[in-house]
Amino acid sequence: MAPMQLPPPMAGLIETRCDRIASLEHALRQRNLLMATMGHDLKQPLQIILRAVERLAPETLGTTECLWADAAIEQVMRISDGLTQLADAAALSESHPGPDIRRRNLSDIFADLQRNWRLSAAEAGVDLRFVPRSGLVCTDDALVCTILGNLIGNALKHGRGAPVLVGARRCGDTMVCIVQDRGPGIEAGLQRRMFVPGVRGATRSPGMGLGLALVRQLADELGHPLSFISRPGAGTRFALALPCAK
């Protein structure tokens, strides 16, 4: 049987659409590369500005000048955090076209998290406790470290110095990773939209509101259920469920 031939108008339309898809994919890769490069390059001058303002702040004797110096420091830190999140999101999108799901040892993931966050917790004066647990799970360890790392970073940043616990428990065929703090919690009105890009918990909180949006995106990409419980004044607990390896 001879292969079916598409009529010339239909063949041309398909070719045009394929070319457009290829062009859009190229533009997306270029955008991600630009975002990652600018995110990292712009942090250096911001760090210099931050150090300069911090050195000049003690010289401001008036109350108004001190307030302006503190506000400048806070806003520079906010921009710096936002650029880091943009660069991380772009780099992940470029370097992880799809999750690399394999058998991983949960204890290795916890060891990486502990190495990455213990110094930040010590500098913030936060009691960050890890309760590691061994067990084989099917996941992409780099993406899970990004998810849990963002949750730990949020707990350190917004928890007002309250203790943070990172642990795991077996629940049937899943291993549930938990990040729990005893901070001020999340307002009820914010809980319904806190995963929307650009939404921040408080008007003066640092960052650009991209951390939780990235967490939700990566959890959905991995197919790992993400849930949370938060009560104002009593803290927040996030739970990420990883499938156990057979």
Asked whether residue 33 falls in the same domain as residue 88, the answer is yes
Asked whether residue 162 falls in the same domain as residue 113, the answer is yes
Last residue of a domain, one of 53, 75, 95: 95
Tokens at 56, concatenated: 């000049």
Asked whether residue 62 falls in the same domain as residue 167, the answer is no
Asked whether residue 91 falls in the same domain as residue 112, the answer is no
pLDDT in tens, 80-93: 776 776 666 666 65
Whether 116 is covered by a domain: the verdict is yes
Last residue of a domain, one of 68, 95, 122: 95
Whether 198 is covered by a domain: the verdict is yes
Higher pLDDT among residues 111 and 50, named by residue: 111
Asked whether residue 88 falls in the same domain as residue 126, the answer is no
pLDDT in tens, 109-135: 999 999 889 888 888 889 999 998 889
Domains held by the chain: number: 2
Range of the domain at 27: 8-95
Last residue of a domain, one of 61, 95, 129: 95
Number of other residues whose CB lies within 10 A of the CB of residue 233? 8
Tokens at 23, concatenated: 């062009």
Strand ranges for the chain from DSSP E: 102-105, 128-131, 136-139, 164-171, 174-181, 226-231, 235-243
Which of 25-29, 55-59, 176-180 tops mean pLDDT? 176-180
